[in-house]
Structure 1
Amino acid sequence: MTAPPPEARAELAPDGRLRAVINLGNPILARRDSATGEVAGVSVDLARELARRLGVPAVLTVVQSAGESVDALASGAVDVGFFAIDPKRAATTAYSAPYVLIEGAYLVRQDSPLQANEEVDQPGRRVAVGARSAYDLYLTRELRQAQIDRAPTSPEVVDHFVAHQLDVAAGVKQQLQADAQRLPGLRLLPGRFMVIEQAMGMARGKAAGAAYLGSFVEDAKASGFVAAALKRHGISGATVAPPR
């Protein structure tokens, strides 16, 4: 990959640092080590690698939810972030192509009558989802009859679902699988209800920076960087997105 043009460096790191927001709400992308407190994951690796190529230090702002990531970018507190591609967010965010694809799934109780994803959108069904997550945005558009009940963050969805005796929990399949192992009497519905395209993003109106960011993501996929990061962090169930 060629060196970044000065214009791209100025737009991605305007104060001589790459300020990146890291969302812990999606465990496939980033996690905090409970013993050391260190944050690690695919998004952390990508942020640091982009900073290295720009020749600037990486400064990470760690948040707990997708909504906080969006707010951090919109306010100018950070220069880049890691987001699920969604048309609502595209109004203010310039996305790269996706770097990983993640499945969104539904979780129910063992004794639930629901057996398929298509059965969820029925009158009287209450679906728990993380507020302002990709799943929230998608289901807000797609569900016509079921009611959405929002948990504060995606990692809190299943506990919210249990505490409020809701009918369905929606979120990252791997997170739901872990919660089903943690709490008895729960099961996932077969398959998926959506595929989430996870991309890097920056504020709109910065053409040189956005072009370089897009090229960086394509190179990270083609070179095996993303695949190696997934393997290094023990992530299963997410796949490297195809080339643009």
Structure 2
Amino acid sequence: MKLTPAIHSAFTPSGTLRASINLGNPILAYRDASGKACGVSVDLATEFARLLGAELELVVVDAAGKSVEVVIGEQADIGFFAIDPLRGEHIAFTAPYVLIEGCYLVKDASPIRSKEQVDDAGNRVVVGKGSAYDLYLSRSLQHAHILRSPTSPTVVDTFLAEGAEVAAGVRQQLEADARRLGGMRVLNGRFMVIQQAMGTPRSRGTEAAYFLAAFVERMKESGFVAAALARHKIEGASVAPAAG
């Protein structure tokens, strides 16, 4: 993994490394008691900036869709995303570094007992707008109707406000909301496994994309990702296997 002047320039056209940080997924990023953004994605961005010998600038957003927009719009040089073919048209993804479960939540009184019952014409499923769940379920659900919440953390609040039948999102976020609000349960099983990866605009070139991909593999192999998950007390997410 050799850093060349061309690769350095590809990641720092503004003079600093700008990393898009999405606070909409608490498994990967959140604000600490002082309001500072922190988490696994911040740790990876910090280490990548150190490798480049560049100053780090965090571009903090509150939703996955916004994170995609700032990277595609070249307002950020790297970002942290769930791999999706639609996003891949403009973003060069690495292999995943973390795997996360996508699950469904319903009210305790709901007749829905399994994930197989969700795709019914009588069901409205709430997802975070532009999230990996939105992209995936928009393709896979054939009968249920999709309602979009502004961000992933507001999915359950929107689910209750709209009187919808199902909420979809990160298992940990849904379980936390169920404990916070009561009267709800997360269905057994998962409807998808999210492959969380790093990415850079395709316009930055093949060499830059390969360099970022090699960085992610090193971070997995060295134990950096596992240590970050443990340090931030993240449960329910696992380090992705080596690429290839």
What's the TM-score bracket when you normalise by the shorter of the two chains? over 0.9
Q: Give secondary structure in 2 for the equivalent of 1:76.
A: coil
CA contact (8 A) 1:99 1:226 kept: yes
Query: Where does residue 84 of structure 1 map in the other structure?
Result: 82
Counterparts of 1:200 and 1:92, CA distance in 2: 13
SS at the partner of 2:98?
Answer: strand
Matched residue type, 1:156: T
Equivalents in 1 of 2:175, 2:90: separation in Å?
A: 33
Instruction: Give the TM-score taking structure 2 as reference length.
Output: 0.98
* Structure 1 match to 2:53: 55
Check if 1:216 corresponds to 2:215: yes
Once the 2 structures are TM-superposed, how far is the Cα of residue 16 of structure 1 from its aligned partner? 2.5
Distance in 1, Cα, partners of 2:80 & 2:233: 19
* Structure 2 residue 14 is matched with structure 1 residue 15: yes
Map 1:64-79 onto structure 2 (within 5 A): 64-79=62-77
Contact 1:129 1:150 in 2 (8 A): yes
Corresponding residue number in structure 2 for 1:158 = 156
| Inter-partner Cα distance in structure 2 for 1:77 and 1:141 | 28
- Distance of 1:3 and 1:158 partners within structure 2: 45
Q: Secondary structure at the match of 1:87?
A: coil
Question: Partner of 1:45 in structure 2?
Answer: 43
State the 1:200 CA deviation: 0.3
- The reply on whether 1:173 has 2:185 as its aligned counterpart is no
Q: Classify the secondary structure of the residue corresponding to 1:157.
A: helix
TM-superposed deviation, 1:184: 1.1
Distance in 2 between the 1:231 and 1:47 partners?
17
One-letter amino acid matched to 1:187 = R
SS at match of 1:219: helix
For the Cα contact (< 8 Å) 1:69–1:81, is it kept in 2?
yes
Aligned residue in 2 for 1:183: 181
Cα RMSD, aligned residues only? 0.8
Structure 1 outlier segments of 4+, above 6 Å:
none
Q: How big is each residue's C-alpha offset from its partner over 1:145-182, in whole Å with a ceiling of 9 and x where there is no partner?
A: 00000000000000000111000000000000000100
Report matched runs for 1:101-112 at 5 Å: 101-112=99-110
- CA distance in 1 between partners of 2:112 and 2:122 (Å): 13
Which of 114, 124, 127 is the matching residue for 2:125? 127
CA distance in 2, matches of 1:101, 1:124: 31
Whether the 8 Å contact between 1:3 and 1:53 is mirrored in structure 2 is: no
Distance 1:76 1:89 in 2: 14
Shift of 1:3: 4.1
SS of residue paired to 1:53: helix
Q: Distance in 1 between matches of 2:42 and 2:52?
A: 15
For 1:19-38, what aligned pairs fall within 5 Å after superposition?
Answer: 19-33=18-32, 35-38=33-36
Deviation at 1:75, TM superposition (A): 1.1
Verify the 8 A CA contact 1:107 1:187 in the aligned structure 2: yes
User: How many residue pairs align between the two structures?
Assistant: 242
Give 3-state SS (helix, strand or coil) of 1:239's partner: strand
Question: What is the deviation of 1:118?
Answer: 0.7
Query: 1-side partners of 2:59 and 2:14: how far apart?
Result: 15
AA of the residue aligned to 1:9 = H
For 2:200 and 2:156, locate their aligned partners in 1 and report how far apart those are by CA, in whole Å: 31
Q: Deviations over 1:48-91 (max 9, x none)?
A: 00000000011001000011101101111110000100011011
| Structure 1 gaps, min length 5 | none
| Residue identity opposite 2:64 in structure 1 | A
- Identity over aligned residues, as a percent? 57
